[in-house]
Amino acid sequence: SIECVSFSPDGRMLVVVRNAQVHLIETATGRARAFVGLLPENTSLGYRTANAVAVSPNNLHLAVAGWNGLIHV
């Protein structure tokens, strides 16, 4: 299931966190451009999950926040 989404500041990419996997999708074509990786497991909950994702203003950095309060950059 989709956990969270965010557009890049220039609108050219959509970041989708789905099933604890981070994907970059080109908005013009809908094609997957990159797979960033799998989120670390939340040991207190026993599964991987995210509740927010954001792209930096210069499109160089991606941050994913987990339900455990950790932010992965």
Categorize the per-residue pLDDT at 70 as very low, low, confident or very high, splitting at 50, 70 and 90. Answer: confident
pLDDT of residue 27: 96
pTM over 0.85: no
- CA dihedral (28, 55, 69, 34) positive or negative: positive
Which candidate, 62, 67, 70, 69, places its Cα nearest to that of 22? 62
Residues forming a β-bridge with 7:
14
